[in-house]
Chains A and B, each alone.
Chain A
Amino acid sequence: MGRRTALYDLHRSLGARMVDFGGWDMPLQYGSQLAEHHAVRGAAGVFDVSHMGVVDLHGPRVRPFLERLLANDVGRLRAPGRLLYTCMLNEGGGVVDDLLVGFETDASFRLIVNAGTRDKDLAWIRARAGDFEVAVAERADLAILAVQGPEARARTAALLTPADATGALELSPFCGRQFGDWFVSRTGYTGEDGFELVLPAAEAERVFQALIAARVVPCGLGARDTLRLEAGMNLYGNDMDETTHPFESGLGWTVTMQPQSRRFIGRDALEAIERRGAVRELVGLLLEDRGVLRRHQSVIAPGAGAGEITSGGFSPTLERSIAFARLPAGAGAQVQVDVRGRLLRARVVPTKFVRHGQSLLSQPQPGDSKP
């Protein structure tokens, strides 16, 4: 039996099909996964993401600690409530985890880490926190709800007092604020607007039900996966892990190499990779033939070599199959994918397929498919 969030019984009573995810029993879907996906693109859905870990860091030297620990620069976080997406690297530049770091005060930061890496991350962080006299506290007493979609903020704000609702609706992207026991941030993993709520686990069931009553559709991890894939957002363990570095995982934009004086863990390895040039890159694929791209399928890039799909599936918004693939750098615009023994044609595209309900794919221009 896997670990359970505070909402486990509610998920079961709502008819969810439960699956193991990173050692947790989580809802895959409540009804139709496609309907849940479209609910988020079209209006609002809520996900229980309490399996993710909340780690609070305290101490006067927490900022220098995080400047060492994380590949993105927490120096960018100056206003309380600001959040930053970052990788935590090992010495070889491999990704230990990707996470959100939030700034509260100069002596207090919060990390939100992945479910499957929670224990590993805590051990990694604790092993390095002592040098900076940083106290590390896992907040198992908290639950996290992600409310996502064009109507998500308004329908969530309706659960708050009028004053808090006004404050929450004023939040800019990647900003959050404490409202009583709740921390509300304008963040997510779907490519839609929305909030993530970090609140006491004891309140989670009441809030989840209040959101359903406010016409927010409960959504499972199945829809969460197709939404994040369309949005071009990486999944730890699929698209990157300890054996791959950010530059070959579409995550170069999260690494801050300046100032050079910030010697974060993994920096030396990344500098060496920068000097050599990355030999692989993560790209988007759009399947041109009929079929469905799946993780681990082989990709043939003519003239460049072979690669592999790291995440793939059916895009409900585009009604076609899409994927992320790690390919040799310099692959052309057209590749072939071995789909169950058949070689199917796919077009190399940016990894962001959908934002705010709209396709970001440019229509193929005449001549695009020339070799």
Chain B
Amino acid sequence: MSTVPAELEYTDAHEWLRRLPDGTVEVGITDHAQHALGDLVYVELPEVGRAVKAGEACAVVESVKSASDVYSPVTGEVIACNPVLEKAPETINQDPYRAGWMMRVRVAPDAVAGAVLSAAQYTEFLDGKDD
């Protein structure tokens, strides 16, 4: 059973977003995603300062089994990446919603909001899938 914290928002590509008090957005992959991928062995993060668009592939997570793109859920500028993941990608498996965060994005003021799901909607989305 994968966990879906109520206070976060989600995408149908299994990213989560946390809206921080300073207006920036923290992004990671969900518990469901880390479980489906298996043990993570390599994470490739965007350069700080890179402009990303909602829905754009901007990071890669590689597990023992396969590589998967991670898509930015918002349009804006990457202002920080999680330095822990370079040496310890398994942090995402262990704590996907806190210590395993991947990047922080400053949302562009004129950005059109990307399609995001509430926790309840994401749970419903997962329930509609096979596993």
Contacts and interface: CB of A to CB of B under 8 A. Distances in A.
Contacts of A314: 41-42, 62, 64
Given A226-B64, A314-B64, A292 B39 contact: no
Interface string B58-87: 001010111100000000000000000010
A295 to B, nearest CB: 11
B64 A313 contact: yes
B38 A292 contact: no
Contact of A32 (B39, B62, B67): B39
Contacts of B38: 29, 32-33, 222
Interface string A315-332: 010000100000000000
Contact of A34 (B39, B44, B86): B39
B129 to A, nearest CB: 15
Most buried by A among B41, B44, B60: B41
Contacts of A11: none
Interface secondary structure of A, over-half rule: mixed
Contacts of A321: 42
Contacts of A313: 64
B67 A292 contact: yes
A163 B38 CA distance: 43
Nearest to A225: B64
Task: Bin the interface of chain A by size.
Answer: 10 to 19
A4 interface: no
Interface string A288-321: 0011101000000000000000000110100001
Given A29-B38, A32-B39, A33-B39, A294 B67 contact: yes
Given A222-B38, A291-B42, A314-B42, A34 B60 contact: no
Contacts of B44: 290-291
A252 B90 CA distance: 39
A340 B44 CA distance: 11
B67 A340 contact: yes
Contact of A222 (B60, B65, B86): B65
A292 B65 contact: no
A316 B42 CA distance: 12
Interface in A12-51: 28-29, 32-34
Nearest to A37: B64
A290 B85 CA distance: 12
Nearest to B62: A292
A6 B51 CA distance: 54
A34 B42 contact: no
Contacts of A34: 39, 41, 64, 90
A316 to B, nearest CB: 8
A290 B42 contact: yes
B2 to A, nearest CB: 14
A290 B64 CA distance: 14
Nearest to A34: B39
Contacts of B60: 340
Contacts of B86: 290
Nearest to A35: B39
Given A29-B38, A33-B65, 16 more contacts: A28-B65, A32-B38, A33-B38, A34-B39, A34-B41, A34-B90, A226-B64, A290-B44, A290-B86, A291-B42, A294-B67, A314-B41, A314-B42, A314-B64, A316-B64, A340-B67
15 contacts: A28-B65, A32-B38, A32-B39, A33-B38, A33-B65, A222-B64, A222-B65, A290-B44, A291-B42, A291-B44, A292-B41, A292-B67, A294-B67, A314-B42, A314-B62
Interface of B: 38-39, 41-42, 44, 60, 62, 64-67, 86, 90
List the 3 closest pairs (A to B, CB-CB), nearest first: A314-B41, A34-B39, A292-B62
Interface of A: 28-29, 32-34, 222, 226, 290-292, 294, 313-314, 316, 321, 340
